[in-house]
Amino acid sequence: MSKTEMTAGEVWDSLVEGNDRFVSGRPHHPHQTPERRGELVGEQTPHAAILGCSDSRVPAEIVFDCGLGDLFVVRNIGQVVNETVIATMEFAVVALGVPLIVVKAHTSCGAVAATIEQSGSTPPDTTPAIRNALDLIRPAVAEEWLSAPRASHVVDAELIDANSAGRRHVRRMIAELTSRSEVIAEAVDQGKVSIVGCQYDLNHGRTVPVTSVGALNI
């Protein structure tokens, strides 16, 4: 049993219930009291690790109606998997014993849109650091573009489904986590950790499952 004393299925169910409360406009805002702060001074036992996009519209604690100490969160543009993310997720698994990792994308993602622009005929200027991050999204954009017959590998932003590319990117980032981290891959194989990929809908506030890895079958 994890340090949270919850299974991956129980954790996912609690996140779905929290998202339901958020969508309905009746959040509970749990674990946000001075007493809760005091309880967490000596330790933390989050029940899920979240890799999400830095977009200001999609904070995990709010969309899942969670509070202090509930989620172990790392965010960057386009929820890309890099060395820092892998280290963070490994810490969540090894030191904190989380049974569930969630990779959370969202619709109308600026990072995906920027990657599509970079994959077009006239890519706009950007910084080297941003370009490096977008390069991790580029394979999903190319895969989505070439999923239909095309006369050219050059992506046309008017013809590609950006949200579908975002879902492909989620699957690829989960594959990156399990292929680049022996710790996470072994935890999944041993049934200690499950991974869920999902996409948050900006219009409705609903977080929709895309894929899952491990014992938890979404």
- The model's pLDDT over 58-92, given as tens digits with 9 standing for 90+, comes to 999 999 999 999 999 999 999 999 999 999 999 99
Mean pLDDT confidence for 131-142: 97
Q: Tell me, what CATH number does 68's domain have?
A: 3.40.1050.10
Mean pLDDT confidence for 115-137: 96
- From CA 141, how far away is CA 98, in angstroms rounded? 31
Q: Name 61's Cβ contacts closer than 8 Å, sequence gap at least 6.
A: 67, 70, 71, 73
Answer whether 118's CB lies under 8 Å from 126's CB. Answer: yes
Annotated binding site, which residues? 53, 55, 106, 109
pLDDT band at 1 (very low <50, low <70, confident <90, very high): very low
Q: List pLDDT tens digits, range 173-195.
A: 999 999 999 999 999 999 999 99
Residue 117 lies inside a defined structural domain of this protein = no
The predicted model scores a pTM of 0.95
Mean pLDDT confidence for 108-119: 98
Reported for 207-215, long-range contacts at CB under 8 A and 24+ positions apart, including other chains, are 207/15, 207/16, 207/19, 207/63, 207/64, 207/104, 210/105, 210/167, 210/170, 210/171, 211/170, 211/171, 211/174, 213/174, 213/178, 213/188, 214/8, 214/188, 215/8, 215/191
State percent of the chain over pLDDT 90: 96
Q: State which residues form the domain around 41.
A: 8-108+162-213
Q: Is the pLDDT of residue 135 over 70?
A: yes
Output Rg (C-alpha) for the chain, integer angstroms: 18
Residue 49 lies inside a defined structural domain of this protein = yes
Annotated binding site for Zn(2+), which residues? 53, 55, 106, 109
Please state the domain count of the chain.
1
Residues in the chain, overall count? 218
Residue 57 lies inside a defined structural domain of this protein = yes
Residue 144 lies inside a defined structural domain of this protein = no
* String of DSSP letters for 154-212: S--TTTS-HHHHHHHHHHHHHHHHHHH-HHHHHHHHTTS-EEEEEEE-TTT--EEEEEE
For residue 212, the cross-strand partners are 196
Residue 150 lies inside a defined structural domain of this protein = no
Residue 123 lies inside a defined structural domain of this protein = no
Q: Is the pLDDT of residue 145 over 70?
A: yes
pLDDT value, residue 5? 83
Residue 183 lies inside a defined structural domain of this protein = yes
pLDDT value, residue 19? 98
Residue 97 lies inside a defined structural domain of this protein = yes
Mean pLDDT confidence for 156-162: 96
pLDDT value, residue 151? 84
